[in-house]
């Protein structure tokens, strides 16, 4: 089982680098090439430093040979969207990314399981996350983790390209 530890503000640049590398790899052919080409490793550094520093949400990193290779961020569900199975006390996984060279080795699965365990302990009744429709490999990963697509798609635009976002959710089993 991978070593997972809480992220600190000192991890903000590392988490940003993980996101940027994963975006360039995962979203190649999905997001506009010009957008990915301009994506800097430090793009999200300030964002993560602020969120982690304020405790706005939980963030964890997975470590392999003393190096952070993946990260997950989660907390309270940020949206109440018409048509969603939106009960009180639901959490949301805001992001889950693993460096491309470490994907397929169980790091992502361990991070998602850790986030779910933490949300259950915090009293959440379920969790959701958003994913691009065109991201087939990650959708397959979510299905394997027992997440279900439960809401009609939402669209947004990046550099004149319309993208479709899907919400996946999981209701936690009560004992």
Average pLDDT, the chain: 91
Length of the chain: 175
**Helix ranges, the chain (H):** 12-26, 33-38, 45-54, 107-121, 136-144
Q: Given a cut of 60, is residue 81 above it in pLDDT?
A: no
pLDDT at 83: 47
Q: Tell the CATH topology of 3-129.
A: Aminopeptidase (3.40.630)
Residue 175 reports pLDDT greater than 90: no
pLDDT band of residue 82 (cuts 50, 70, 90) is very low
Average pLDDT over residues 144-172: 90
Supply the pLDDT for residue 150. Answer: 84
Each residue's pLDDT tens digit, 92-120: 999 999 999 999 999 999 999 999 999 99
Domain boundaries, the chain: 3-129
Query: Is residue 11 pLDDT above 70, yes or no?
Result: yes
Q: Which two tokens stand for residue 45?
A: 């550094």
Q: Give the pTM.
A: 0.90
**CB 132 within 8 Å of CB 29:** no
Tell me the per-residue pLDDT of 33-57, one tens digit each, with 9 for 90 and over. Answer: 999 999 999 999 999 999 999 988 8
Spatial distance between the Cα atoms of 55 and 100, rounded to a whole number of angstroms: 28
């Amino acid at each position: 089982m991978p070593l997972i530890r809480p992220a600190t503000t000192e991890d903000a640049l590392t988490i940003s680098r993980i996101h940027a590398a994963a975006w360039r790899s995962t979203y190649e052919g999905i997001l506009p090439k010009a957008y990915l080409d301009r994506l800097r490793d430090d793009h999200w550094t300030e964002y993560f430093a602020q969120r982690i520093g304020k405790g706005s949400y939980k963030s964890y990193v997975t470590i392999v040979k003393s190096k952070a290779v993946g990260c997950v961020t989660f907390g309270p569900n940020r949206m109440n969207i018409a048509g969603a199975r939106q009960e009180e006390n639901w959490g949301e996984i805001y992001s889950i990314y693993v460096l491309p060279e470490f994907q397929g080795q169980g790091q992502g699965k361990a991070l998602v399981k850790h986030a779910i365990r933490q949300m259950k302990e915090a009293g959440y009744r379920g969790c959701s996350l958003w994913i691009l429709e065109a991201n087939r490999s990650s959708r397959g990963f979510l299905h394997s983790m027992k997440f279900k697509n439960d809401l009609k798609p939402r669209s947004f635009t990046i550099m004149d390209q319309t993208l479709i976002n899907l919400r996946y959710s999981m209701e936690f089993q009560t004992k």
